[in-house]
A and B are shown apart, each in its own frame.
Chain A
Amino acid sequence: MYPAEFRYTKTHEWAKVEGDLARVGITNYAQEHLGDIVFVELPEVGRQVKQGEAFGVVESVKAVSDCYAPVSGEVVEVNGVLADKPETLNQDPHGEGWMVVIRMSDPAELGNLMDVAAYEKHCEEEAH
């Protein structure tokens, strides 16, 4: 279910390292928990974000939820598809539903994130 090459946050974001870039999204657990996603707010390209800082907002029918940056750096790309098709986040959260690409300023921060085994355990604990 959860890709082994991703790194995960406790707040249910994922990061996929591509060289000095990190592609970022929310996890399947997050989208299931939120339900039908109807609105996504993303940062401007060029914005600097810090690890743990809110970089965007995802809204379902009932809930408004911040998304937190898994790594620090500059936002170099945002997924424009989500503006018109926010439901992509429900349909393919780990793929087409990616949200931003961040050029990492401190790749050592990846060490603060969970690997897939730790994340799956984290989800199990939260579900109870």
Chain B
Amino acid sequence: MGMEELKKTPLYGNHLKYGGRIIDFAGWALPVQFRSIIEEHHQVRKAAGLFDVSDMGELDIRGPQALDLLQYALTNDMSTVAVNQVRYSPMCNHRGGVVDDLLVYRLGEDHYFLVINAANIEKDYNWVKELAGRFPGAKVENVSDKVAELALQGPNSEAILSRLTRADLSAIRYYWCAQDVEVAGVRCMVSRTGYTGEDGFEIFCSPEEAPGLWDTLLEEGDELGLWPCGLGCRDTLRFEAAMPLYGQEMDDDTTPLEAGLGKYVKFDKGDFVGREPLLEEKRTGLRKKLVGLEMVGRGIARTGYPVLKDGEKVGYVTTGSYAPTLDKNLALAFVPPQLAEVGTGLQVEIRGRGVGARVVKTPFYRRRDK
């Protein structure tokens, strides 16, 4: 696909202006980096970074049966989510495979807002609409084109954002949001969430106002070390924090239990899509289990590389990278449950050779103040 055929976010012009190197990311023209992936990675860990995540999709769900629909469609329990609270959940198919993983924002008594992965927007929308057939009192709307999203991440995020708003940001706790927050004169929804393992906010606004907000944030944040950041470090940051990425750590044929997301599956909340196959898997044991690997030998594991035990293929790498903060070569991989114990010696096949690796605890990185 030529670059001119790619979808563009409202911030495309900003990326060109700030010197972003544009790539094709699942059909979107987005910056992979502005300076260097590693420098941007370190900047987010020690100061702050601003990301364009406007490619993410959003579904608006409202009505007296909105909660019933979500309870049925999602594996996590939404009945205990308060207004302005945010909750993570997998969404499964009838086989227990993951359709998507998403964030649910409760915006009102009967009003929810789902933030979904860019590559899954059509699939999710069709799936939720299909399930909504059983819940006539729930109305589902795909509002992805009406919403821009910026992620401000890193330890200086609160200090930077507080320069541009009168809202009391310290009152927004982790996985909560505030609606109708004015940031630099732009009406936004702000949540204390993110995908980097650092403190930070995700800021939702109208597509028309996003370019101005981006520029103002970078100007105001400059003194506090705010850099524009690309997809490259977004991936290395989330990888160190062992936050799963749809399409790599999970997909339609992988269950949340296998992907290590069992704590987001609430069997006791009543019926939900995938409950039976997931219960069955829980009873009979996992087919595969997601683990962290640290390379012992020289080499970098990459997505799809085979994992070996005594020369035989037993699993595969879902994400592998040099981890800049930890200065190690690490990977997430699926292996048989009996080989998932921390300390287990395995190999990763790199260019035809088995390179030593061992199972280590995840997350690889956890910030100190948490």
Contacts and interface: CB of A to CB of B under 8 A. Distances in A.
A61 B329 contact: no
Given A38-B300, A39-B322, A62 B38 contact: no
Query: Interface size class for chain A?
Result: 10 to 19
A106 B236 CA distance: 44
Nearest to A87: B38
Contacts of B307: none
A64 B302 contact: yes
Interface residues of B, number: 17
Given A61-B236, A61-B322, A35 B36 contact: yes
A36 B37 contact: yes
Interface in A14-44: 35-36, 38-39, 41
A39 B301 CA distance: 11
Nearest to A39: B300
A88 B297 CA distance: 21
Contacts of B38: 36, 38, 61
Contacts of A36: 36-39
B329 to A, nearest CB: 7
A83 B297 CA distance: 12
A83 B32 contact: no
Contacts of A83: 298
Contact of A62 (B232, B298, B351): B232
Interface of B: 32-33, 36-39, 232, 236, 298-300, 302, 321-322, 324, 329, 351
Interface of A: 35-36, 38-39, 41, 57, 59-62, 64, 83
11 contacts: A35-B37, A36-B37, A36-B39, A38-B322, A39-B298, A39-B299, A41-B299, A41-B351, A59-B300, A61-B236, A61-B324
Given A36-B37, A41-B298, A64-B300, 9 more contacts: A35-B33, A36-B38, A36-B39, A38-B300, A57-B351, A60-B37, A61-B38, A62-B37, A64-B302
